Structure 1
Amino acid sequence: MNFRLRRLAAMIALACAVSGQAVAQQSAATDSSTTRNLINLLVQNGVLTEAQAAALLEQATRDAAQAAEPVLQEGDVRVPYIPENVREEITGEVRDQVISQAIAENWAQPNTFPDWASRIRLDADVRVRSESRFFDDYNDPYLIDFQRFNEEGPQDISQQALATGAWPPFYNTREDRINLLRLRARFGFTADISEHWRAGLRVATGSDDNPVSTNQTLGGGLEKKDLWLDRGFISWLPTQHLAFTAGRFANPFVTTDMLYASDLNFDGIAATYAAAEDSELSLFGTLGAFPLEFTSDDSPSRSEFKTKNQDKWLFGAQLGSLWKMDSDNQLRAAAGYYHFDNISGERSDPCQPWFSDREAGYGCNTDWSRPAFLQKGNTLFVLRDITLDPLNPAATPMEQYVGLASEFQLVDLNLRWQTALFNDMTLQVTGHYVHNLAYDEDDMLTRSGSTQQGSTDGRVINNLDQQGNIRSGGDAWMLDLALGTAVEIRDAGQWNVQLGYKYIEPDALPDAYNDSTFHRGGTNAKGYYLGGAYGFHKRVYGQMRWMSSEEVYGAPLRVDILQLEVNARF
């Protein structure tokens, strides 16, 4: 028995030493209750005396102290032990403090950005297009490009000038153009300056500064391409649904490209209202005033008699509603009125540009009334009432500009119905009608200075039949059908197909502002278009479009256009 107890005592002594080292590494206490109880039990059984027990406890304490304070050598670093629960508590406190500071200062919260960046929304897209144009062999080869006529003018249209080969600029109407590569690139941003103020800026490509296209034809000796200021505006939003915008901004009206091209932006000021669309019936509306052209301060530049103020404006108003009939059907209807002020041409007082224009730049007193931009289709007349040179009347140069014969006060009605079909497909039907309330052929003749229908004075110089009568009209309409899994492609695998028809009489609307691709832009056009689009990847899609059109009245002009393109947004 004593032998077993002595052996147990030796084992206890060894356990005390080991326990002392372990306890020293884990805690500052070395005399745990378990060790004391074991030694007391040995004393009670007579294995150890009290003196031996005291000595054993003292030795265990010294060993534990030495284990807790190891000897440090030069270069050693002492790392105190921290229990796991304490480490977790400290880590949590530090993390909470850092995250609280990051949230307060908005610099390191997950999935957010600094304050200045979170208030800016970027908008950019790139489109690469192959465009082919096919012309009929029987098209009129003498279709005048009146935009260049004015831009390069005044043009001498006298018989002697034409006899010497000084022809006005003509459109290409017979020679096909295959696979023209064209680029459109746009980059802009909108910044929320405060709760009620917003500003935006965008630049875009473009072969020139015309208002209806940002396409840039590639080639040109690999020269660098131009960038233009496409938008720049400031908006005040007094409420969630009302906004006042000034500067140059996106078209604020709900319409189609039959009236306003998709690339067209507006200069001026506009007030827009849009109710929340979560209700069954919501209203929207727009009022706007847009300067089309300001009178030059110094025109004519070489005369002491300046042109009086003759600014040109567009005033527009529109009211519409969106009716969500049920979960699968919605109907959008809008009615608008657009008054184009002072854009029609004016016949001048009798003048002698042959005497002064080339040398002094005096011109005639209504040269200002020529439009800043034209496509084609509107009825035009020559502006200047030129008197003959008394010394050589037969050789008097007839240097002319042209202006619009009609005024334009447009009623605009458009309707769009959208319905959900089987297999997640959507059908969208759009109808659009425009009528020019100011269209009047007698007024057009009076404005141009012509005497009557069928006169041969030559003041109205297009949209005439062989008898000299005006062939025009004041109505335009279109119908468009779109079917697919998405009306606007945004994700891979989405697709749609489109079919439509347009009919645009010559003076139904100003030819300067509508789509520049159908019939190569402008009015006096009718025909169909069809196409389709498919999503290759998120925000990347391809599109094909075929357009076939011809004139409504006048000289023959048939044009077929094929467009193949890839679009990317980011």
Structure 2
Amino acid sequence: MPARAGELDLLLDRLVEKNVIDPGEAQEIRIGTQEEVKKEISQQRHATLPMWLQTMKLRGDVRLRYQFNDNHNKALTQHRGRFRLRFFADAKVNEKVYMGFGFASGSSADPRSTNQTFGDNYGKKSLWIDYVFAEYNANDNLAFTAGRTKNPLWLTSDLLWDSDVNMEGLSARVSLPVNYNWDIFGNAGFMVLSESSSDPKDPYLLFAQPGVIWHDNDGVYDMKAGAAVYAFNNIEHSPELAHRPSTTDGYQKSNTLVGGQYKYSYDAISPEIELNANILDPVSVPLVTSLLGYNLTYVGAFGNYIKSLDHGRASEGWLAGFRLGQRKVEDAGQWQLRYSYRRLEADAWLDNYPDSDFYGGAVNAQGHEVLLTLGLLRSFALDLDYYQTRPIAGGLKKEKLFQADINLKF
């Protein structure tokens, strides 16, 4: 067992006093011992520190945003400065159990937003518990998670689920290699939607999502596909759930209600697919390559479809899009351009969960999104995001939304 730092320093000082070693040699021993301890901690084999302390990771990000809204349902356009702060911690408790928690900013408990808007005459801002979970890994292929967790589903877009929505309940995931080129995976879960001591029929969600992964032998092409089946329980004939779109901000609540209760259950099936190609011989893009220094090294396409299973009225939705540039933007000069078009009908899905930036998170909406990401430095990027959206039906008008984000990760 390594000597503790204080004991080692005392021993070295005594050896120097007795001229057994000189001060330079003592310093070399101190540095060598410190490096060995660091190595033991990084390899999770330190004899005295608990595993959770050796494996703990602290992470976070900061987003600074300028946002312009031109919602034609409101008399004035809107310019806003906004920010987001998130801080995460996770660690292995032992060889089988993993845990984590995170905090995030936000102006309310709305699960679809972690934004805070500049204003309120410099009033202090709130910090919320974003997620907290424990995960049991039965083996390399099977894991179970409980708590408030990041969305356990594999998703190609935010057509159905805003990226800020964290679920509360139990989930399981499985991954099985078939051969060198193919893998299969699956996600399943039980998620609590609401709870009331005066109502025995609390609403909850069950889901299952089988899928496959394929890649070629040369590292050029790969594909991932899955199909989620959603079963919402105790939704039909129940009161509306919290956090629907804001009508005061010029948006719409389009799910069909009868007497203040949902008419449908919103059970649905939703397949999605992602196709990717890595360009081994990078392609020069006029102007872009000369300005940023990176050629085109990646192209991809993705799509998502949803169909309600319990009714046929305004019951479908879809999204299709592409990406090109670099597969991930992680360093200076890297870039990615993403475009998508989506259409989500009024009763295809509950309007509590879609992307809150796309027509206020409403259903009964369609339109375009263009996102350009530019790497400024390592872990430091600029996002330019533009939405042009409008209702599918009804009397409301279109909206144009532009966001310029500075993103920093630490």
Cα distance in 2 for partners of 1:342, 1:432 equals: 26
Matches within 5 A, 1:350-429: 369-375=239-245, 376-383=252-259, 402-421=260-279, 422-423=281-282, 425-429=297-301
Deviations 1:138-187, CA, capped at 9 Å, x for gaps? x4xxxxxxxxxxxxxxxxxxxxxxxxxxxxxxxxx342112x11111100
Cα distance in 2 for partners of 1:100, 1:239 equals: 35
Change (3 A) 1:182 1:474: same
The correspondence for 1:474, drawn from 301, 304, 315, is: 315
Normalized per residue, the structure richer in strand is 2
The correspondence for 2:96, drawn from 179, 182, 196, is: 196
Deviations 1:476-498, CA, capped at 9 Å, x for gaps? 00111111023x32111110111
Whether the 8 Å contact between 2:299 and 2:324 is mirrored in structure 1 is yes
Aligned AA (1:546): Y
Percent of aligned pairs sharing the same letter: 26
Q: Is 1:491 matched up with 2:331?
A: yes
Aligned AA (1:341): N
Cα distance in 2 for partners of 1:128, 1:112 equals: 36
Cα distance in 1 for partners of 2:310, 2:318 equals: 17
- Counterpart of 1:142? none
Matches within 5 A, 1:152-301: 173-178=74-79, 180-255=80-155, 256-275=157-176, 279-295=180-196, 297=197, 299=198
Cα distance in 1 for partners of 2:154, 2:395 equals: 34
Aligned AA (1:425): T
Change (3 A) 1:342 1:118: same
Q: Is 1:336 matched up with 2:228?
A: yes
Cα distance in 2 for partners of 1:544, 1:244 equals: 37
Deviations 1:405-463, CA, capped at 9 Å, x for gaps? 2221110100000002242510010011011111245xxxxxxxxxxxxxxxxxxxxxx
1:108 shift after superposition: 7.3
Greater shift in the superposed pair: 509-518 or 279-288? 279-288
CA RMSD of aligned residues (A): 2.8
Whether the 8 Å contact between 2:347 and 2:363 is mirrored in structure 1 is yes
Matches within 5 A, 1:519-530: 519-530=359-370
1:112 shift after superposition: 7.5
The correspondence for 2:302, drawn from 400, 408, 430, is: 430
What secondary structure, in the 3-state scheme, does the structure 1 residue paired with 2:359 have? helix
Whether the 8 Å contact between 1:325 and 1:331 is mirrored in structure 2 is no
Q: Which runs of 5+ in 1 are unaligned?
A: 1-77, 140-172, 300-306, 347-368, 384-401, 442-472
Change (3 A) 1:196 1:132: same
1:340 shift after superposition: 1.0
Whether the 8 Å contact between 1:247 and 1:269 is mirrored in structure 2 is yes
- Counterpart of 2:67? 131
1:292 shift after superposition: 0.2
Change (3 A) 1:111 1:234: closer
What secondary structure, in the 3-state scheme, does the structure 2 residue paired with 1:520 have? helix
Aligned AA (2:184): L
The correspondence for 1:325, drawn from 216, 219, 236, is: 216
Change (3 A) 1:193 1:410: same
What secondary structure, in the 3-state scheme, does the structure 2 residue paired with 1:492 have? coil
Whether the 8 Å contact between 1:184 and 1:215 is mirrored in structure 2 is yes
Matches within 5 A, 1:77-88: none
Whether the 8 Å contact between 1:371 and 1:404 is mirrored in structure 2 is no
Total equivalences in the alignment: 365
Whether the 8 Å contact between 2:41 and 2:54 is mirrored in structure 1 is no
Cα distance in 2 for partners of 1:510, 1:562 equals: 25
- Counterpart of 2:341? 501
Whether the 8 Å contact between 1:337 and 1:411 is mirrored in structure 2 is yes
Normalized per residue, the structure richer in helix is 1
Cα distance in 1 for partners of 2:136, 2:18 equals: 61
TM-score by length of 2: 0.82
Aligned AA (1:188): F
Cα distance in 1 for partners of 2:87, 2:362 equals: 27
Cα distance in 2 for partners of 1:129, 1:536 equals: 16
1:518 shift after superposition: 0.8
Whether the 8 Å contact between 1:272 and 1:285 is mirrored in structure 2 is yes
- Counterpart of 1:539? 379
Cα distance in 2 for partners of 1:249, 1:200 equals: 9
1:130 shift after superposition: 0.8
The correspondence for 1:122, drawn from 43, 58, 67, is: 58
Cα distance in 1 for partners of 2:322, 2:34 equals: 55
What secondary structure, in the 3-state scheme, does the structure 1 residue paired with 2:120 have? coil
Cα distance in 2 for partners of 1:108, 1:557 equals: 61
